[in-house]
Every structure is written in C-alpha cells, then in structure tokens.
Amino acid sequence: MKKKKLFTQKTVPYLFCAPFLLSFFIFLLYPMLNMICTSVFNLQGVSTYVFVGADHYRRLLTDPHIVSAVLNSIGFTVGIVVVNVVFAMLLAILLNNRLTPLRNVFRSALYIPALTSIVVAGIFFRLFFAGNADTPLNLLAGLFGQSAREWLYDTKLTGILALVFTSTWRWLGMNLLYFLSGLQTISPELYDAAYVDGANAWQKFRYVTLPGLRPILVFVITILTYGGLRMFGESYVLWRNSNTPGDIGLTIVLYIYRTAFGQFDMGYASAMSVVLFAFLMVLNAVFIKVFGIGKGGTGR
Amino acid sequence: MKTRHTAYRILVVCLLVLFAAVSLIPFLYLLVTSFVDDMSLVFRHGIALRVTPDLLSIENYRMLATDSDGLFFRWFGNSVVITVSFTILSIALSSMTGYGVGMYRFRGRRAIIVLILSTMMIPIETLMIPLYNEMRAFNLLNSVAGVILPFAVSAFTIYFFLQYTQSLSQDFMDAARLDGCGEFGIFVRIMIPLMKPAYASMLILQATTEWNDFLWPLIVMSKSESFTLTVGLQTYLSPYGNNYNLMFAGAVVSVVPVMILFFLCQKLFMEGMIAGGIKG
C-alpha cells in the first residue's frame, strides 16, 4: 500500500506560494484599501473621523511644501540615477578587466559603505558639508575663489547635491555588484570577434559591452528611480528632522512622515501617500511596457 | 603592448584608490574621533580636526556603556534579535515562494509572477501610515513582531531566488521523485543545498538591510527601551542637546557586527551576487 501524500506535484506549488500570498493580502492589499479610505476622512479629537471627501486632495494642489518636496525628490532621483549608473558601470568594467590588479580588494573596499546605516553615514556627512572654512569641501571651493558656505543650508541645489553625494556613498557598491554580475553574462567570444574585427576600446564598449549590459542597466535604473523617489533617511539625518529655510532637502516621503507622525494629520498624509502610490504604479506600468522588465524571469 | 598595459594599470589603480579612499575615509574618521573625549574640538573643527595622541581616551566608550543603565546594550540586543529573526524568516519564506514559482508549472503561476513583479516596485514608504494603524490594531507596536512581520516576505528576495532557480535542473526533481522523495523533501534535501550561494548572498543582504533599517523601526518603536540601534543612535541628537560623545562611540560599535559578518561570508557573498545574481 502506498501512503497517500498530502502534497503532490499539483498541490505543493500553492503551499510554496502561500507565504507570499498571505503577506500580499495582509500587508499590502488591505493596507492599501485602508489608506484610500483614510484619505477621505479627517481625524478630529482622539478617534472621531469626519468624512471630508476630496478636501485633502484639493489641499494637495495648493500646498507649497508639496511643490518643494516633489522638486527635491525629482532632482535627487535624476542625480542619483546619472551618478550611480556612470560610476558604477565604469568601476565594474575596470574591476572586471583581468589586467586590473587587486580586483577583490577594491571590490570589497567599494562595497563596505553599503554595510552602514544612514544614521552612521549622516554623522559623518553632516560634518562634511558643514560651514567651517577648513573642511575639504570648503577648501576646494576656496581654490575656485568661492567663499566657505554651509552646504546643507545654502540653496536647494546644494541641498540636493549633498543628498546625492551621501546616497551615492552608500549605494554605489551595490550597483557596482549588479553591473559586475551583468558583465559575467557577456560571452568572451564576442570580445574575441571584436578584436579580430580590429575594434578599439570605445567600439568594444559601444557595440559589445553596452548591449550586453542592457538588461542589468534597465534593472539598475529602475531600482535607482524607485530608491530616489522613496528616499527618506538621507534627508532625515542630514537636516535632523527640523524645518529648513525654503524646504531645502525636504523630500516627498519626509513630508508625508512629518505630516503623519509629527502633526498626526493622518488623513492628509494618507491622501499624499495615495497620490505617490498611484504615481509609482503608473511609472511601474510604463517601465514594464518600455523596458520589458521581468521578461527574463518568467521564461522557461 | 607591455608598456600600454603598465600605463593602464597605473591609471586604473590611481582611480580605484581614489574611490576606495572616499569609501573608507568616513569609517576611519568615525573610528578615530570616537576616541576624542573633548567634543567641543569636534564641533569647532568638524572633519578638519587634527587628532593628536594626547586627545585620545576611551572615555566615550565608558560613557556609552554606563549611560542610562546600559540603555545602549538594550538597543544592541533589540537589533540583534530583530535582525536574526527577520533574516531567518525572510529567507525561508521568500526562497520557498521563489523556488515554487520557478520550478513548478501550475494554474495561476503567471498571475503570481505578475503580483511579485509589481509589488517589488511598491515602496513600503507609501504604506507606512496604514501599516502603522494595522500594527496598532494588532497590538504589535513596540514589539519585535511589529517590526519584522510586514516585510518578512520580500518580493525582491523572491525574485532573486526565482532567477536563481533557472540554473537548477528539473532532472534532479524527477530523479528524486522516482526514489520516492516527497515534494517538500526535494526542496529541503536537494534544492536548498544546491542554492547555497543564493542563500549566502541573501543572508548578508537581508541581515545588513535589517540591521541598518531606519524608517520602519522609527515608526513602530516609540519607547526608548525598544529602540533599535539606528533609531536609538539618532536620539543622541535632539533639540534638547546633542551628545556627540555617545553618538560617535555608538556608531562605531553599531558598524562592527555587520563588518564581521561581511568579512566572514565575503567570498560566498560576492560569488552569489556576481555569478548567480540578478539578470534583469
């Protein structure tokens, strides 16, 4: 007699997927619906909710902080994508080249910042961007005839640059690994063929490396775009959660956080989250359509 | 040819040394400054402070250990408990799903893959408010479960394992079935050992991410004795006065465990990330 098994080839996949589905319903779908509901109510007193309809959404359109936050977040995202793609790709190509000495040492050294928390990084970078005349940054500015400045409180642009620099310090190592992993998928024969055809270094990069890296490039750009738009920690630690003149360094998520957990205006904060959420879903659809992300993972 | 190679090497090493210096100098600065007792000097000179041996002492670390009846150790302990339980739970559950979707053909598979891919791009930041309310309703605020449960099943990790299963052969499964091995047994006894590099990569990635996580613990943990290290360290800077002595020493201590983990598993991690990893 053969023992009847509970999990057969037909049923076991559902068991394997159960954790994901449960988590999806409890920690994603339900909160999402809940958030949409909260966004049309206003909390009054301790636990009385008053229906306010689209009021919060109307308020969004006239809130000047939103404009600053959106501009900061977009500026930051563009900066982080450009800087991280260019440097991570360059470093990955160098570290993949057999002629480069000490490849493993450099690989680890460049990854190490990824091991720190934003709080620890913030301690250093707050001082790095400080206003005293003898910081390396201000000494450098002095060489160009600029006077020393408080980089974190100077202009919106210096604020964004400080954010991009701080984030890149922590994120570059990870993106470097992604590109290194992408480079492994390019067949060495292609380079041999290019060599036979007499291609120079630039042509090899343009016609072999770049097309080969396309999937990973799309992946990294996607991750960085979302990472940029959702950024919170860098902004929180660099300006110590205080209001800045002209909303320097205020990002979308930081503004939502302050509205929700600083002023306890949950209804308005929810409305902002709903809009951000909807925007990211649209962006998601565009990315999938344009770049065809995930096609590689669904094959077989 | 020979001289061109030498020139290339010199150029590349200079460039890499520059990047490595930028990566590592902040650590060096934090380490050295954490031994400077007189923080008014740090305030005045910032990172331009020239540290001489007579400025150094272990006073900051002694203060850290004795501050508020060893509150720092509570935070450290909380971080350890949260990181360990989160990592184990997350890797176990996420690898299960990734493996199930990758290795089996079943009804609804495509739909689940689409769900995984679209949730991968949903930032938790947009859901922090309803999730906070949910945790409050479940009475999980200020608890370890409240920090780890909502994000234990990570779409990104699932996707990583899903990709990794593409290097596994269905033949192993068929052979094991002929030998009478159950479906779950195949996973535990045959496939998990085959996916070891993937587990090593995700172990480091999840452990460091959770150890360094900031926003969610900041929201869930509001009592000072249930803070994690990142949340606690941040409170040394407050509108009521900054304590840089504790902050520098605490920052150094908080970095040490992940460094140890990284250097222990470095080789496996790099292999798993670079060879097996994301292919887009």
Sequence-separated (6 or more) residues with CB below 8 Å from residue B76: B229, B253, B254
Q: Cβ A108–B30 below 8 Å, yes or no?
A: no
Q: What CATH number is associated with residue B140?
A: 1.10.3720.10
| A269 chain-B contacts, CB cut-off 8 A | 129
> In the prediction, which pLDDT does B1 show?
57
Least-confidence region, from A71-75, A185-189, B53-57: B53-57
What SS3 state is found at A101?
coil
DSSP per residue, A205-265: IIIIIHHHHHHHHHHHHHHHHHHHHT--HHHHHHTTT---GGGTT--HHHHHHIIIIIS--
For A100, name the nearest residue in chain B, comparing CA atoms only.
B9
Distances, alpha carbon A50 to alpha carbons A37, A38, A60, in Å: 12, 10, 18
Q: Cβ B97–A17 below 8 Å, yes or no?
A: yes
- Res. A297 pLDDT band, cuts 50 70 90: very low
- What is Dmax (Cα atoms) for chain A? 90
Give B16 to chain A, closest Cα distance, Å: 7
Three-state secondary structure of A104-138: HHHHHHHHHHHHCCHHHHHHHHHHHCCCCCCCHHH
Q: Cβ A108–B153 below 8 Å, yes or no?
A: no
For B222, name the nearest residue in chain A, comparing CA atoms only.
A261
> In the prediction, which pLDDT does A202 show?
86
Phi-psi region of B70 (alpha: psi -120 to 50; beta: other; left: phi over 0): left
Give B143 to chain A, closest Cα distance, Å: 17
Closest to B126 (Cβ–Cβ): which among A108, A185, A276?
A276
Q: Cβ A7–B133 below 8 Å, yes or no?
A: no
Handedness of CA B277, B86, A253, B236 (dihedral sign): negative
Give me the half-sphere count of Cα atoms (radius 13 Å) on the Cβ side of residue A42. 10
For B154, name the nearest residue in chain A, comparing CA atoms only.
A20
Q: Compute the mean pLDDT over every residue in chain B, rounded to the nearest whole number.
A: 86
Q: Is residue B49 part of a domain?
A: no
The rounded distance, in Å, linking the Cα atoms of B208 and B83 is 8
Q: What are phi and psi of A134, to 5 degrees?
A: -100, 15
> In the prediction, which pLDDT does B278 show?
52
Q: What does the pLDDT look like over A104-134, one tens digit per residue?
A: 899 999 999 999 999 999 888 888 888 777 7
For B91, name the nearest residue in chain A, comparing CA atoms only.
A19
Please name the residues between 199 and 258 in chain A that touch chain B, using a CB distance below 8 Å. Answer: 214-219, 222, 226, 229-230, 232-233, 236-237, 240, 242, 253, 256-257
What percent of chain B has pLDDT above 90? 34
Beta bridge partners of A42: A50
> In the prediction, which pLDDT does B277 show?
52
**How many residue contacts between A and B have a Cβ separation below 8 Å?**
296
Q: Is residue B22 part of a domain?
A: no
Distances, alpha carbon B250 to alpha carbons A71, B31, B55, B64, B108, in Å: 35, 10, 19, 7, 49
The rounded distance, in Å, linking the Cα atoms of B121 and A284 is 7
| B230 chain-A contacts, CB cut-off 8 A | 117-119
The rounded distance, in Å, linking the Cα atoms of A209 and A190 is 9
Range of the domain at B72: 67-276
Q: Cβ B12–A94 below 8 Å, yes or no?
A: yes
| B75 chain-A contacts, CB cut-off 8 A | none
For A108, name the nearest residue in chain B, comparing CA atoms only.
B266
Residue bearing the bigger pLDDT, A80 or A136? A80
Residue (of B261, B213, B249) closest to B73 by Cα position: B249
- Per the structure block, which two tokens stand in for B110? 């495509």
Best A1, A17, A32, A184 member to test B by mutation, with max B CBs in 10 Å, is A17
Please provide the distance, in angstroms rounded to a whole number, between the alpha carbons at the two ends of chain B.
36
Least-confidence region, from A41-55, A184-198, B92-106, B210-224: A41-55
What SS3 state is found at A48?
strand
Q: Cβ B280–A253 below 8 Å, yes or no?
A: no
| A125 chain-B contacts, CB cut-off 8 A | 26
The rounded distance, in Å, linking the Cα atoms of B193 and A125 is 42
ipTM above 0.90, yes or no: no
Least-confidence region, from A59-68, A76-85, A241-250, B192-201: A241-250
Q: Compute the mean pLDDT over every residue in chain A, rounded to the nearest whole number.
A: 84
Q: What angle do CA A285, A286, A292 make, to 5 degrees?
A: 85
For A227, name the nearest residue in chain B, comparing CA atoms only.
B123
The rounded distance, in Å, linking the Cα atoms of B135 and B29 is 39
pLDDT higher than threshold 60 for residue B212? yes
Closest to A13 (Cβ–Cβ): which among B12, B104, B131?
B104
Find tokens 């998601």 and name the residue: A284
A72 touches chain B (CB under 8 A): no
Q: What does the pLDDT look like over B59-87, one tens digit per residue?
A: 788 888 887 777 889 999 999 999 999 99
Q: Which CATH architecture has domain A55-291?
A: Orthogonal Bundle (1.10)
For B26, name the nearest residue in chain A, comparing CA atoms only.
A124
> In the prediction, which pLDDT does A3 show?
53
Give the 3-state secondary structure percentages of chain B, helix then strand then coil, rounded to 5: 80, 0, 20
| A218 chain-B contacts, CB cut-off 8 A | 280
Question: For chain B, how many structural domains are there in total?
Answer: 1
The rounded distance, in Å, linking the Cα atoms of B151 and B86 is 9
Closest to A233 (Cβ–Cβ): which among B13, B126, B214?
B214
What SS3 state is found at A51?
strand
A187 touches chain B (CB under 8 A): no
Q: What does the pLDDT look like over A32-52, one tens digit per residue?
A: 998 998 888 887 656 677 788
The rounded distance, in Å, linking the Cα atoms of B96 and A7 is 14
Give A264 to chain B, closest Cα distance, Å: 10
Best A117, A187, A214, A237 member to test B by mutation, with max B CBs in 10 Å, is A117
The rounded distance, in Å, linking the Cα atoms of A152 and A156 is 9
DSSP per residue, A143-178: HTTPPP--GGGS-HHHHHHHHHHHHHHHHHHHHHHH
> In the prediction, which pLDDT does A1 show?
44
Find tokens 């005293």 and name the residue: A132
Best B8, B9, B14, B23 member to test A by mutation, with max A CBs in 10 Å, is B23
The rounded distance, in Å, linking the Cα atoms of B188 and B92 is 11
Distances, alpha carbon A293 to alpha carbons A286, A289, B89, B165, B171, in Å: 10, 8, 27, 18, 28
Count helices and strands (H / E) in chain A. Answer: 15, 2
